[in-house]
Amino acid sequence: LSHLDGEARRILRLNDKGCYTVPTAGLYPYQWNWDSAFAGLGFACFDVNRAWNELETLMSGQWENGMVPHILFHRPDPGYFPGADIWGTQDAAGKGAGRVASSGISQPPVAASFAWRIYQRDPETGADRLRRMFPGLMAFHRWFMAARAESGAVAITHPWEAGRDNAPDWDAAMARISPEGVAPYTRRDTGHVNPRMRPTKEDYDRYIWLVQFGRERGWDDAAIAAESPFRVADPTLTFTLMRACRDLRLAAGVLGEDCAEIDGWIARLEAGAERLWNPETGAYDSYDLRSGELAGAVSNASFLCWWGGLADRRSLPTLARILDTARFALPSFDPAHPRFDPLRYWRGPVWGVMNMMAAIGLAEQGLSAEAARIRADTAGLITENGFAEYFSPEDGTPAGGATFTWTAAIWLAWAS
């Protein structure tokens, strides 16, 4: 076991709360949906049973409509805002919110993809766990297709739903919200992390405004879809769901389940992804369903098309340009764009989890040089700068939270 493998395992154990893992103590003290699925992938490298527990706890928060929330508030923690009281989902509990206090939105659905990978580590003991999880994963994907995929591509109702909170993709849509009536609040994130590495106050006011907007509608998907000023089809959700459907299809194969419904979803998502293609930037983009406009944003999510399983070569020249300009791949936003900011969260920094998905997708399409570059850069960033939440693409400066679960997980599962 190398020193860094040992350190990565230590971080997973450090952040382990028994049957779920926090992304990092302090800044994120609860179970986050996609962070948790990545944690499962990391645990699978040395404790497969614990890996299944992680995903099972995540799925235990599933709502009756199939949604798996982006945060499960297992135990109250005053160090985080907005907590369960602000989301108010327990008021909706009688109407189908889950048994675990939670947020009212979801996150990139990578759970089925990593359940499939965990299963592959140990098919003999995993078959039972996979079989028990299968109906919940089907219901989760079915909910996305019904509640978010009216354009074919998958829409977010809140920037937090894409996981890329302050990406420039949403700047235009966010600017249309005037955050009036937001109750006074105190941010907690900037008490844990340097504020210049976090979203701005203008962003936060609108994040909270959108939470209030959903809560006032009892987290009713149809009401939010009809009335919210914010609805953006996003490559993160579209490509992670596309991949998760393909992986769920593989699971259906070994379990002897019918694939017809999943095949229908994949076909709809493939057609919908075309809406996200931006010929001007030469990359997949976000599409504002209210204004009918593409964002003009080349992000690390743009390059998840191969992870999604598309045999698409159109964005390769753009990827080549980005790889040429960034010292460390992949920046979360185009370094040539005036809004690029190398340390501010999703407006520039490198994220290991996105790198893993992009590189695996590239390798599967036979684009092994690009995949190798992204993997080598990720391994180098971690080796030189530790298991940070994210890194500057200019000089590797570690940023955000430290001892970070998903960075440790992708080290074990892929980068090492």
In the complex, least distance from residue 156 CB atom to ligand DGY, rounded to whole angstroms: 12
Cβ-count burial of 224 within 10 angstroms (0-12 exposed, 13-18 middle, 19+ buried)?
buried
Q: What is the CA radius of gyration of the chain?
A: 20
Minimal CB distance residue for ligand DGY: 160
- Between the CA of residue 245 and those of 59, 82, 124, 248, what are the distances in Å? 17, 31, 23, 5
* DSSP collapsed to 3 states, 166-222: CCHHHHHHHHCCCCCCCCCCCCCHHHHCCHHHCCCHHHHHHHHHHHHHHHHCCCCHH
Cβ-count burial of 321 within 10 angstroms (0-12 exposed, 13-18 middle, 19+ buried)?
middle
In the complex, least distance from residue 258 CB atom to ligand DGY, rounded to whole angstroms: 35
| Bridge partners, 277 (sequence order) | 284
Q: Give dist(CA 319, CA 138) in Å, integer.
A: 33
Size of the site for ligand DGY (CB under 6 A): 4
Residue 54 or 165: the one with the smaller Cβ distance to ligand DGY is: 165
Residue 165 or 288: the one with the smaller Cβ distance to ligand DGY is: 165
Residue 165 or 377: the one with the smaller Cβ distance to ligand DGY is: 165
Residue 49 — φ and ψ, nearest 5°? -60, -45
In the complex, least distance from residue 160 CB atom to ligand DGY, rounded to whole angstroms: 4
Residue 160 or 230: the one with the smaller Cβ distance to ligand DGY is: 160
Catalytic residue, candidates 35, 54, 341, 389: 389
66-85 residues in contact with ligand DGY (CB under 6 A) are: 70
Cβ-count burial of 236 within 10 angstroms (0-12 exposed, 13-18 middle, 19+ buried)?
buried
Is 389 catalytic? The answer is yes
Q: Give dist(CA 103, CA 210) in Å, integer.
A: 12
Residue 20 or 52: the one with the smaller Cβ distance to ligand DGY is: 20
Catalytic residue, candidates 16, 35, 161, 165: 165
Residue 70 or 249: the one with the smaller Cβ distance to ligand DGY is: 70
Residue position matching structure tokens 């230590």: 10
In the complex, least distance from residue 293 CB atom to ligand DGY, rounded to whole angstroms: 25
* 35 near ligand DGY (CB under 6 A): no
In the complex, least distance from residue 30 CB atom to ligand DGY, rounded to whole angstroms: 9
Sign of the Cα torsion 280, 283, 284, 285 reads negative
Site string for ligand DGY, 178-217 (x = CB under 6 A): -----------x----------------------------
Structural tokens at position 217: 């509608």
In the complex, least distance from residue 198 CB atom to ligand DGY, rounded to whole angstroms: 7
Inter-residue contact 301 to 234 (CB < 8 Å): yes
Inter-residue contact 7 to 45 (CB < 8 Å): no
DSSP of 95-130, one letter per residue? GT--SS-B-SS-----HHHHHHHHHHH-HHHHHHHH
Site string for ligand DGY, 163-182 (x = CB under 6 A): --x-----------------
In the complex, least distance from residue 147 CB atom to ligand DGY, rounded to whole angstroms: 19
Using the rule CB under 6 A, which residue among 73, 160, 230, 414 binds ligand DGY?
160
Site string for ligand DGY, 293-322 (x = CB under 6 A): ------------------------------
Residue 266 or 399: the one with the smaller Cβ distance to ligand DGY is: 399
Distance of alpha carbon 242 from the chain centroid: 13
| Catalytic sites, residue numbers | 165, 389
Which residues of the shown chain bind ligand DGY in the complex (CB under 6 A)? Answer: 70, 160, 165, 189
